[in-house]
Copies of this chain bind each other. A is one copy, B any other.
Amino acid sequence: MTTSIVAREVLVPDRVKGCCQPVAAPLSDARVDELSAIYRALGDPTRVQIVHILAAAAEPVCVCDFTAAFDLGQPTISHHLSKLRDAGIVTSTKRGVWAFYKLNAAMTSAARDAIQLID
């Protein structure tokens, strides 16, 4: 998962071979992992659609609405929701037998920016 960049002196080889340029300092492993994890969580059509529905909803959405909206089995919907929850993009609460999901109000700013393309 981490990126394992080699040491700085190799990174900027001072045009040793006539073609190479200095290159920007890499992002920190933590930042790169944070960003790629957010992108990966959104890299599935069903999850993009789920985020779209949640972004448009005034209130938390019941899981049963998702299972009705998609042509997928209930365990698959549950799987996608838990991926989004693991990525910190949504949160869930239980009311009686039902589980309701909404966008995480405490989302990282990176996640908030990332989902803003989804109208």
Q: Which residues of A contact B (CB under 8 A)?
A: 1-6, 10-11, 13, 17, 19-21, 23-24, 26-27, 29, 32-33, 35-37, 39-40, 42-49, 52-53, 55-57, 59, 61-62, 64-65, 68-71, 98, 110, 113-114, 116-119
Closest B residue to A3 by beta carbon equals: B45
Oligomer copy total: 2
Contacts of A47 in B (CB 8 A): 36
- In the assembled complex, the Cα of A110 lies from the Cα of B42 at a distance in Å of 14
With A4-B71, A32-B45, A70-B3: A53-B117 Cβ-Cβ less than 8 Å? no
Identify 12 residue pairs between A and B in the complex whose beta-carbon atoms are under 8 Å apart, listed by A's number: A4-B70, A10-B69, A11-B68, A11-B69, A24-B52, A26-B69, A32-B45, A32-B49, A35-B117, A35-B118, A36-B47, A36-B48
Residues on the B chain within 8 Å of A110, using CB = 117
Check A45 against B2 for contact (C-beta < 8 Å): yes
Given A11-B69, A69-B6, A70-B4, A36–B42 Cβ distance below 8 Å?
Answer: yes
Given A20-B64, A117-B35, A49-B70 contact (CB < 8 Å): no
